[in-house]
């Protein structure tokens, strides 16, 4: 089964709006959570990440919220801009035996309309 | 700036043929990964490695082999290419575990078409 799942294949938001991208995971041993951003025909790049010992991490317009009991984490984007239009991939990882293996969700295609 | 280079950028292969995708990193990272991207599936891990001369199976290893002859190089091998292996393949590297060490640095991707 899908260990990391994004419920929304696509989202559209007006420029300046607030949006929330959601991600659910199955393995409650995961201890690292990240959001990657991918433009068409480009490689994914890390947007923001958080470890399991904190519930929230903020970086400018981007905030990750982690709900360990619900096995859920989300990305909040404020003051959305057209350049935020991209595919957002959530990922979760487990530090097991030194392995830094990340499992990705299916991705959410975000469109910010001006 | 982290640098992961993949070759070729695109390739057309015939069913049953052998395909080798190459990846080279200059980050001095221990970990290297091969992912494939398909519409509706995001990125799925095929193989990974945390030390030269050793590889590990990821989540979808069937039909693929991997080779890590040195810290810098990691290859993905399709011995008998099949139509279902048409996808975009991404190589990535990371320093390993611990905070920012989990950050993956991706190559530009290889678009593989199997006919």
- Tens digits of residue pLDDT in A45-96: 999 999 889 999 999 999 999 999 999 999 999 999 999 999 999 999 876 6
Residue A45 CA to residue A57 CA, distance in Å, equals 18
CB-based contact B90:B104 (threshold 8 Å): no
Say whether pLDDT at A1 is over 90.
no
Mean of the per-residue pLDDT values for chain A?
Answer: 91
What's the count of helices (H) and strands (E) in chain A, helices before strands?
0, 11
A14 pairs with which residues across the strands?
A113
Residue of B100, B102, B107 lying closest to A102 (CB–CB): B102
Chain A residues close to B35, C-beta within 8 Å: 104
Predicted confidence at residue B100, as pLDDT, reads 62
Predicted confidence at residue B99, as pLDDT, reads 59
Asked if B101's CB is within 8 angstroms of A107's CB, the reply is: no
What is the arithmetic mean of pLDDT over A91-112?
82
Residue of B43, B99, B103 lying closest to A89 (CB–CB): B43
Instruction: Tell whether omega for the bond before B8 is within 30 degrees of 0, i.e. cis.
Output: yes
CB-based contact B107:B4 (threshold 8 Å): yes
Say whether pLDDT at A99 is over 60.
no
A4 is written with which tokens? 């990391």
Question: CA nearest A92: which of A59, A62, A40, A49?
Answer: A49
B74 is written with which tokens? 């990691």
Say whether pLDDT at B1 is over 70.
no
Question: CA nearest B33: which of B21, B53, B16, B50?
Answer: B50
Longest Cα–Cα distance of chain B, Å, equals 42
Chain A residues close to B103, C-beta within 8 Å: 34, 46, 49
Residue of A6, A32, A41 lying closest to B102 (CB–CB): A32
| Chain B residues within 8 angstroms (CB to CB) of chain A | 31, 33, 35, 40-45, 48, 50, 56, 58-59, 90, 94, 96-97, 99-104, 106-109
A113 pairs with which residues across the strands?
A14
Predicted confidence at residue B102, as pLDDT, reads 79
């Amino acid at each position: 089964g899908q260990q990391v799942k994004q419920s929304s294949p696509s989202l559209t938001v007006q420029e300046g709006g607030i949006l929330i991208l959601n991600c659910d995971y199955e393995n409650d041993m995961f201890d690292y959570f990240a959001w990657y951003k991918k433009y068409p025909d480009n490689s994914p790049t890390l947007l923001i990440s958080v470890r399991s010992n904190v519930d929230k991490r903020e970086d400018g317009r981007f905030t990750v919220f982690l709900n360990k009991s619900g096995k859920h984490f989300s990305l909040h984007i404020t003051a959305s801009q057209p350049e935020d239009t991209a595919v957002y991939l959530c990922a979760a990882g487990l530090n097991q035996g030194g392995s830094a293996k990340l499992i990705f969700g299916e991705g959410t295609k975000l469109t910010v309309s001006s | 700036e982290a640098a992961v280079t993949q070759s070729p950028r695109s390739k057309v292969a015939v069913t049953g043929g052998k395909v080798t995708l190459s990846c080279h990193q200059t980050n001095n990272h221990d970990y290297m990964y091969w992912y494939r991207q398909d519409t509706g599936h995001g990125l799925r891990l095929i193989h990974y490695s945390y030390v030269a001369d050793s590889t590990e199976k990821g989540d979808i290893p069937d039909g693929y082999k991997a080779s890590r002859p040195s810290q810098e190089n990691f290859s993905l091998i399709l011995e008998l290419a099949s139509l279902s292996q048409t996808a975009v393949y991404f190589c990535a590297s990371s320093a390993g575990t611990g905070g920012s060490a989990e950050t993956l640095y991706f190559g530009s991707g290889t678009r593989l078409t199997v006919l």
